[in-house]
């Protein structure tokens, strides 16, 4: 299947063509009237399975059963209160005598968390935030401690306030290195040296307000000529770049000194003699000359955070990472309102958020508990369809079949899954650029999704090569062919499915609930049934043949549009 064919699959899941997420500003296509009888109570395993795909890395049979018959607002509340998975201290405990760490120990711990962790929603948010506040190990290899510290920053702040997150990210040593403001010196008029502008540009463009002014629903504001209004100019970048000068490793007295193994992962600090003493003007704010570095950063982050764009710009990207690749203006507006107010009320009266602008708990609750998911309108609307990226698909398989996360370090294939020809084509914290794996506004050219103006960011990493690579990679895991060397590895538990192998229809129904939330199409079910009936269970070889029938069924479901695309 090439990209056009995948977009056809995107539409084939009951997605109509009533208008895309980049459409008109009124958001009427999915506006929802107040419904006092609305409930977030989950009655069926189908509903539980579908919700867990949005709010976790996928459900197991047990977690699906546990959620069925309960209120998902209470489930989310329990997830918000679950102890966070943290990484740095565990990485530091593995330090070797030469000061280095086992290769990819940070990555192994993250795989373990998303497969077997008890704070699924938080780690899903970590993954989402890592695609907005991008740092990539492709550019900074052998930095396990620094990446673990950064993962802790995202994990601690996942349900906190966006302003606090902006600050912790700014002082992160790995972000400072990745976006080149580490040891960024003040300008020198005599030599013509200018402060590095990289972080100044990206914190505005990618991490906060974007390129054009937005309404609360994410639609562009237009000038008198009906054209979008740019949010910043090059002069703004020049002024803001002066703010992020003088930052280097703490624990050193010398601005240029190399860090020790004990301080390279700590937050960077200001060296006053290297911080620009000049006036700094940007985004309508002027910081007076001779303002200290710490004060300048505080004022700059306050200014960025106060911009009206931040609520719709960030809300849209978080929606894309959880529930909808092409969210409508109405959906964005509802979530952005929760971001602005810092509060969201569920139908059962549960209130999320501390009431302060930028509250991520309120924002995430608004994303997951949007009324459209509980009044039936989302299943009829293309604004509530999400393409699942490869990491989410792989993690769901692992969770569905009770993979032991302790065996992650033995899986050499998981050290770097970025190669699209032979692996997943995506790996946590390894995007190819600061723009993430894909652009949030990407519309796949030459596709049916583009004809109705649907954004589909995940399609940016889809190609014939990546589709084949994904299937081959998953086949090795589904058929338990990894790794080599006789070490304990990922061993999927198919016992429940093997018990159904003599009844292909029952097996299909089981996998349909477990993996897709009962969204397999009739055509897919028919193909599955024909294939399974043609996979014999031979006398004397019953156990092996039953297992093979199950494995064939699973890989076919994992390749289906119902597994790739959720709504």
Angle at 137 between CA 135 and CA 141, to 5 degrees: 140
Residues 452, 443: Cα–Cα separation, whole Å: 10
Instruction: Report residue 163's pLDDT band, with 50, 70 and 90 as the boundaries.
Output: very high
pLDDT for res 259: 93
Contact present, 173 and 267 (Cβ < 8 Å): yes
pLDDT for res 38: 87
* 244: three-class secondary structure by DSSP: coil
Cα end-to-end distance, the chain, whole Å: 21
Residue 512 predicted with pLDDT over 80: yes
Instruction: Report residue 36's pLDDT band, with 50, 70 and 90 as the boundaries.
Output: low
pLDDT for res 380: 65
pLDDT for res 9: 43
* Residue-averaged pLDDT of the chain: 92
Residues 114, 311: Cα–Cα separation, whole Å: 27
pLDDT digits (tens, 9 = 90+) for 263-283: 999 999 999 999 999 999 999
Residue 18 predicted with pLDDT over 90: no
Instruction: Report residue 326's pLDDT band, with 50, 70 and 90 as the boundaries.
Output: very high
Residue 353 predicted with pLDDT over 70: yes
pLDDT for res 567: 83
Residue 11 predicted with pLDDT over 90: no
**If we measure between CA atoms, which residue out of 114, 257, 259 comes closest to residue 174?**
259
**What's the pTM value of the predicted model, to 2 decimals?**
0.93
pLDDT for res 448: 82
Query: What stretches of 131-197 show up as alpha helix (H) in DSSP?
Result: 144-156, 162-170, 173-178
């Amino acid at each position: 299947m090439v990209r056009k064919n995948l977009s056809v699959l995107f539409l084939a899941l009951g997605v109509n063509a009533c208008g895309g997420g980049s459409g008109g500003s009124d958001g009427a296509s999915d506006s929802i009237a107040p419904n006092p009888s609305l409930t977030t109570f989950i009655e069926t395993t189908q509903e539980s399975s579908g919700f867990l795909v949005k709010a976790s890395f996928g459900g197991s049979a047990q977690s699906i059963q546990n959620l069925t018959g309960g209120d998902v607002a209470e489930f989310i509340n329990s997830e918000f209160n679950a102890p966070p998975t943290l990484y740095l201290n565990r990485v530091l405990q593995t330090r070797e005598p030469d000061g280095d760490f086992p290769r990819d120990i940070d990555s192994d711990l993250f795989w373990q968390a998303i497969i077997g962790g008890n704070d699924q929603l938080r780690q899903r948010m970590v993954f989402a935030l890592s695609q907005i506040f991008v740092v990539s190990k492709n550019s900074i290899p052998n930095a396990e401690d620094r990446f673990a510290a950064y993962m802790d920053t995202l994990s601690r702040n996942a349900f906190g306030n966006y302003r606090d997150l902006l600050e912790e990210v700014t002082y992160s040593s790995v972000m400072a290195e990745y976006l080149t403001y580490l040891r960024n010196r003040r300008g020198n008029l005599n030599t013509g040296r200018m402060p590095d502008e990289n972080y100044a540009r990206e914190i505005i463009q990618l991490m906060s307000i974007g390129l054009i002014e937005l309404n609360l629903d994410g639609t562009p504001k237009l000038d008198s000529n009906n054209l979008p209004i740019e949010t910043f100019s090059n002069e703004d970048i020049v002024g803001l770049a002066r703010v992020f000068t003088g930052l280097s490793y703490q624990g050193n007295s010398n601005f240029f000194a190399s860090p020790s193994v004990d301080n390279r992962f700590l937050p960077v600090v200001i060296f006053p003699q290297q911080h620009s003493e000049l006036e700094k003007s940007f985004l309508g704010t002027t910081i007076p000359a001779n303002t200290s570095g710490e004060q300048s950063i505080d004022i700059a982050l306050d200014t960025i955070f106060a911009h009206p764009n931040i609520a719709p710009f960030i809300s849209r990207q978080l929606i894309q990472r959880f529930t909808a690749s092409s969210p409508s203006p109405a959906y964005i507006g509802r979530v952005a309102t929760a971001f602005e107010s810092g509060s969201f009320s569920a139908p059962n009266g549960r209130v999320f958020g501390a009431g302060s602008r930028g509250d991520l708990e309120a924002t995430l609750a608004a994303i997951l508990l949007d009324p459209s998911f509980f009044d039936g309108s989302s299943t009829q609307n293309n604004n509530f369809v999400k393409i699942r990226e490869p990491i989410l698909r792989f993690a769901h398989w692992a969770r569905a079949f009770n993979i032991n996360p302790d065996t992650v370090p033995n899986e050499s294939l998981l050290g770097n899954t970025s190669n699209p020809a032979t692996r997943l084509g995506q790996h946590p914290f390894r995007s190819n650029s600061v723009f993430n794996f894909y652009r949030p506004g990407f519309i796949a050219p030459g596709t049916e999704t583009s004809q109705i103006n649907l954004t589909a960011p995940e399609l940016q990493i889809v190609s014939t090569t990546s589709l084949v690579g994904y299937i081959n990679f998953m086949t090795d895991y589904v058929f338990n062919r990894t790794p080599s060397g006789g070490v304990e590895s990922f061993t999927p538990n198919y016992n429940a499915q093997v018990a159904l192998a003599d009844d292909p229809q029952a097996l299909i129904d089981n996998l349909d609930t477990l993996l897709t939330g009962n969204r397999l199409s009739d055509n897919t079910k028919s193909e599955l049934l024909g294939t399974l009936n043609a996979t014999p269970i031979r006398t004397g070889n019953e156990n092996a043949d039953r297992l093979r029938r199950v494995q064939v069924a699973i890989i076919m479901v994992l390749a289906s549009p119902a597994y790739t695309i959720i709504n």
